[in-house]
Amino acid sequence: MKTIKLFLAGALLIAAMPAGAQNICAHRGFWKCKEAHKTQNSIASLRLAQENEFWGSEFDVHLTADDVIVVNHDPSLNGIPIHTSTYAKLLETKLKNGESIPTLDQYIEQGTKSDCVMVLEIKPQDTEERTLQLTSACMEALKRHDMLDPKRVMFISFSYAACEWIARELPEFTNQYLSGDKDPETVHASGINGIDYHYIAFYRHPDWVERAHKLGMSVNVWTVDCKKVMRYVRDLGVDAITTNKPLVAREIMSKSK
């Protein structure tokens, strides 16, 4: 019975994460380069990740006070808190490379232009209610662009509530919890089908990769920028690394032990 259950868990994990593959995800787009004018989470950074044919491109979303989803890492833009600001107010500030802060709709529109998987990080908002509103609104935005597809998008979040919501509503999607404070069995028991932990968690708990895989979960790791750590997590058999140095990672991850 146990074997059947494990098989079913594995079979469900078809989504965006090819089993056993070691994929490279550009952290906040491929942004630490002159072509993107070093502007994270910009349309230019996503476009560069696509042009370089990385497996995935990670980005972060927040909800404005007037319920527009914007792509930004920090909860504020040039000192303006996003959750108390209107979208129009945010447009008064430009990103470093001259772009306006992208809406999720604009970001997805760019995302439709290649097979690069959109790794969407749902940022915890000021209340859990707003975080879940953001989660649900992200799904609506993806639907509008015909991108609510487990092969084209996957979800990550520090909000356990957001991960549980996705596990309940969209169990076919790769859905990874980010905090690193729970073992794979605990996360799996909540119905969440993946973990994406900081690499330090895998130095502390190297057995978590294998334990998660036994449960049919996907395992990603962030943010891996040094070659030594790239080799370490590669040899542990993680499914994907998120990195600010995806070209270096390409060289390291393609080699075996």
- Which part of the chain contacts Mg ion (CB under 5 A), choosing from 6-14, 37-45, 61-69, 119-127? 119-127
Span interacting with Mg ion, options 60-68, 78-86, 90-98, 190-198, rule CB under 5 A? 60-68
Q: Is 178 helix (H, G, I), strand (E, B) or coil?
A: coil
Task: Provide, rounded to whole angstroms, the least separation between the CB of residue 9 and Mg ion.
Answer: 26
> In the complex with Mg ion, which residue's Cβ is closer, 87 or 155?
155
Token digits of residue 254: 């393609």
Give the nearer residue to Mg ion in terms of CB position, either 121 or 164.
121
The C-alpha atoms of residue 250 and residue 252 are separated, in whole angstroms, by 6
- The least distance separating Mg ion from the CB of residue 60, rounded to whole angstroms, comes to 4
> What residues pair up with 58 in beta bridges, in sequence order?
119
| Minimum distance of Mg ion from residue 165's CB (angstroms) | 18
Q: Which stretch binds Mg ion (CB under 5 A): 55-63, 87-95, 125-133, 225-233?
A: 55-63
Secondary structure (3-state) at 232: helix
- Residue linked to tokens 């990874």: 176
Binding to Mg ion by residue 239, rule CB under 5 A? no
Q: Which residue has the tokens 């997590």?
A: 233
Give whichever of 61 and 212 is closer to Mg ion, judged by the CB atom. Answer: 61
Q: Is 228 exposed, middle or buried (0-12, 13-18, 19+ CB in 10 A)?
A: exposed
Instruction: Report the nearest approach of Mg ion to the CB of residue 8 (Å).
Output: 31
Using alpha carbons, select from 33, 41, 46 the residue that is nearest to residue 82. Answer: 41
Q: Which stretch binds Mg ion (CB under 5 A): 5-13, 92-100, 114-122, 213-221?
A: 114-122
Q: Work out the number of other CB atoms within 10 angstroms of the CB of residue 20.
A: 8
Does 60 engage in binding with Mg ion (CB under 5 A)?
yes
Contact segment (CB under 5 A) with Mg ion among 9-17, 58-66, 147-155, 204-212 equals: 58-66
**CA distances in angstroms from 177 to 27, 46, 106, listed in the order given:** 16, 22, 25
Q: Which residue is nearest to Mg ion (CB)?
A: 121
Assess 196 for contact with Mg ion (CB under 5 A).
no
Task: Note whether 225 binds Mg ion by CB under 5 A.
Answer: no
Q: 96 — phi, psi (to 5°)? A: -55, -35
Q: CA nearest 57: which of 18, 115, 15?
A: 115
Residue 121 makes contact with Mg ion by CB under 5 A? yes
Nearer to Mg ion, 31 or 87 (CB): 31
* Residues at the site binding Mg ion, with contacts judged by CB under 5 A: 60, 121
